[in-house]
Structure 1
């Protein structure tokens, strides 16, 4: 058996698979996000450890975990988990959607070496500008930094006692030479750091360490269980769905939104605001268009109208022509294609007839238009998408999937019932680490159904997308 742990923003998920990669069990422990100021987003790393204990206890009730041979890790990217020399956490972890370091990111990005070496814009959500913010605003904490770890790698540090990361997650820090797959001395020096402050790097399908004996005993696992390198959440999800070769892509409708395309070569295009990162497998890369508020925007709206996302989406009926109300989903800035930490959301075109259902439609349309922007950006780099799979909580909405297929002008495949997300991909990587690469990762999930575009509505939504883009620029100018 193999275990995958996915440390997400809203919870830590565990899945258990057998040698044939069939799902045996799963468990989830919820997490919350603290937002003490506008643009801030933090979690206490101690809560991640409590969540890990909870999911392991839940799995142990239903399964004999003594058969587990390996554990793989996946997690939210870009978080800055700062440790002192004793291994203690110095402050709450600043998460991927924390944009307080926009000034620091802009200053870094103005120096050409950051894009040239990392292959990416220095986004405010990335790790390096967050640490620079600490350097500027919390110098006492900065002076005590001994190690900088990403969220899942702090979990690994607790599991193994070793500071280790892997290529896909490290590529989202801005400190990695993404083409060479190693930390950049020049970029670390620009942040006042050295290699010693960084975790050791391994490939996602390789061994990163072994489970601590005390945890193995407490959870009923054998001694010496292998911990695989794992992957950042999106690369792990790609592994879970077999998206590892060029032309394959997936759409993730989670807290954030991702259009992820596998790539067989390192082909950065930083000005497009497309992310070019290492994949979880050796000598592979991927590109992503990223929006910061996907289901997060829908959940925000549901709370605003005292409802919930499921109720709102289930009550929409068949797909309709674009709403007269337009929604810009930039609740905490945006990445692709605008790289605009100061962008904020807006409802435009409100009228007396605008009710909660019309607002829900506008929110879904606004997020879908943001995905269309990502697709346009990926296309501008030369990346071609031959197949598209949808995953994440938002993929449960048939209305939203048909809307996305129509806006993107592309059929969307929905996997059969099962979990093909980050935790499943992490478990697959654990199997590879244990078997030395003998496990198959290229097998995609079987398709339950395919959602075709509504050709009768495509022209209307194309105009809606154009209006959406004009509104962003007009609003930015007005503000």
Structure 2
């Protein structure tokens, strides 16, 4: 048996799977986020430990963990967890969606070696600019800092006593040489740090340590259970749905949106604002186009109408060509391809005939066109998508999937209803670490149905995307 733990921003989830990868038990515990100032987002790492204790305690009921051989970890990326020489937390963790370090990020990004070595823009959400902000504004804490850990890797420290990170999460720090899969001494020095501040690196499917005897006894696990390197949340989700080879991809319709593609070689192009990271498997990379508002955009519009998101989408029927009303889903800025934290969303082309249904379709189309921007940005790096899966809560809308399939001109496979997210991928990585298996055990799920592009509307969606792009360019700088 194998355990997967996924540390999300809103909660920690754990699952237990058997050797056939069937889910035997699940548990979760909520987490809260502190926002003391505009743009700030922090969590107390001690809360993660409490949530992990609650989840493992629930999974252990009835002695279910007695045959566990491996544990895998997944978690939200980019967080800065700062420890002193005794591994005590120096301040709350600065999370991925914290934007206070935009000045530091811009300064680091102006240094050409960061893009050249990491293959990525230095975004304010990444770890290095956050720590640089601490150096500038909390100098006494920076002086005491001896280790920087990513969120899931602080869980690992508690579980194993080891300071370890893995490649997919480390690639989101702005300190990793993504091609060489190693920390960059030059980039660390540019932020007045050294390799001594960083955890040891392993691949996501490798053993990072063993569960502490004290914890194994507490929950009835065998002695010597291995803990895998694991993966950042999107990389672990990709392991969960079997997106592990070049040409395979998934589109995630969550609060934010991700177009994730696996690659068998390193092919960065930072100017596209595509994230080029290591995958959670050796000698494999991945790229992501990221949009900041997917279901978040629909939920925002639902709030305006007083209806639920499901009510808005359930009665839309068959796909229609884009109308005159356009929606730009930039409610909190945009990552790919704009790298623009200041741009804001808009409805354009409103007219007397624009009713709730027409506006709903415009919102869904706007997100679909944002994904098309991501597809084009990925293609500009040489990445081609041959097979596309849909995951996330928004994939429950048949209309939305049809719009995205038509906008991307790609069939979309919808897996059977089951959780194939970060916790499942983490459990698979735990299985790999314990057994020595590789990508062959990360098969793709059974497909419930395939949503084909509606070729009758191909030209209409092409024209709609052109109008969307023109509107996007017109509103930049107006807010």
**2:371 maps to which residue?**
371
**Superposed CA offset, 1:157-210 (max 9, x none):** 221222110001101111001111110000001111111111111110111111
5 Å-filtered alignment, 1:213-224, equals: 213-224=213-224
For residues 63 and 358 of structure 2, the distance between their equivalents in structure 1, rounded to whole angstroms, comes to 46
1:111 and 1:345 mapped to 2: Cα distance? 31
Match of 1:182? 182
- In structure 2, the CA distance between the partners of 1:238 and 1:474, relative to structure 1 (3 Å rule), is same
SS at structure 1 position matched to 2:476: helix
Pairs within 5 Å for 1:51-62: 51-61=51-61
Instruction: State the match for 1:154 in structure 2.
Output: 154
User: Residue deviations 1:288-341, cap 9 Å, x none?
Assistant: 111122223333333444443333332433333325443322233221111112
RMSD over equivalenced CA pairs, Å: 2.0
Partner residue of 1:402? Answer: 402
Distance 1:60 1:453, change over 3 A: same
> For structure 1, which segment, 434-443 or 161-170, has the greater mean C-alpha deviation from structure 2 after superposition?
434-443
Cα deviation digits, residues 222-279 of structure 1 (max 9, x gap): 2221110001111111111221111111111222211111111111111111111111
Partner in structure 1 of residue 436 of structure 2: 436
Residue 381 (structure 1) aligned with residue 370 (structure 2): no
Q: Where do 5+ consecutive residues of structure 2 fail to align? A: none
- Relative distance call for 1:314 and 1:60 in structure 2 (3 A) is farther
1:322 aligned onto 2:359: no
Supply the distance in 1 between the matched residues of 2:68 and 2:11 (Cα, whole angstroms). Answer: 22
Q: Secondary structure at the match of 1:64?
A: helix
Q: In 2, distance between residues paired with 1:63 and 1:301?
A: 46
In the other structure, the counterpart of 1:145 is 145
* Cross-structure match for 1:208: 208
Do the aligned partners of 2:343 and 2:477 also contact (CA within 8 Å) in 1? no
Contact 2:244/2:439 (8 A) holds in 1 = no
> Could you tell me how far apart the structure 2 residues matched to 1:35 and 1:322 are?
38
1:87 partnered with 2:87: yes
Q: 1:30 to 1:377 in 2, by over 3 A?
A: same
CA distance in 2, matches of 1:460, 1:37: 44
How far apart in 1 are the matches of 2:459 and 2:438? Answer: 48
Deviation at 1:451, TM superposition (A): 0.5
Runs of 4+, deviation exceeding 6 Å: none
Deviates more, 1:436-445 or 1:165-174: 436-445
Q: State the partner residue of 2:194.
A: 194
Please identify, of 179-188 and 453-462, the stretch whose mean Cα deviation from structure 2 is larger. Answer: 453-462
Kindly tell me: are residues 79 and 395 of structure 1, through their superposed partners in 2, closer, same or farther at Cα, counting changes over 3 Å?
Answer: same
SS in 2 for 1:143: helix
Do the aligned partners of 2:428 and 2:442 also contact (CA within 8 Å) in 1?
no
SS state at 1:440 partner: helix
Cα distance in 1, alignment partners of residues 232 and 39 from structure 2 = 23
Matches of 1:169 and 1:270 in 2, distance apart?
18
**2:18 equivalent to 1:18:** yes
Q: Which moved more, 1:402-411 or 1:346-355?
A: 346-355
TM-score (structure 1 length as normaliser) = 0.94
Partner of 1:114: 114
The answer to whether the 8 A contact 1:102-1:341 is kept is: no
- The answer for the alignment partner of 1:277 in structure 2 is 277
Residues 103/389 of structure 1: CA separation in 2 closer, same or farther (3 Å cut): same
Report how far residue 7 of structure 1 moved.
Answer: 1.2
| TM-aligned CA deviation for residue 352 of structure 1 | 5.2
2: distance between equivalents of 1:91 and 1:234? 26
Q: Partner residue of 1:243?
A: 243
1:254 matched to which residue of 2?
254
Find out whether 1:126 has 2:126 as its counterpart.
yes
Q: Give the structure 2 partner of residue 459 of structure 1.
A: 459
Structure 2 vs 1, CA of residues 338 and 2 (structure 1 numbering), >3 Å: closer, same or farther? same
CA distance in 2, matches of 1:241, 1:383: 19
Q: Alpha-carbon deviation of 1:284? A: 1.2
CA distance in 2, matches of 1:308, 1:50: 33
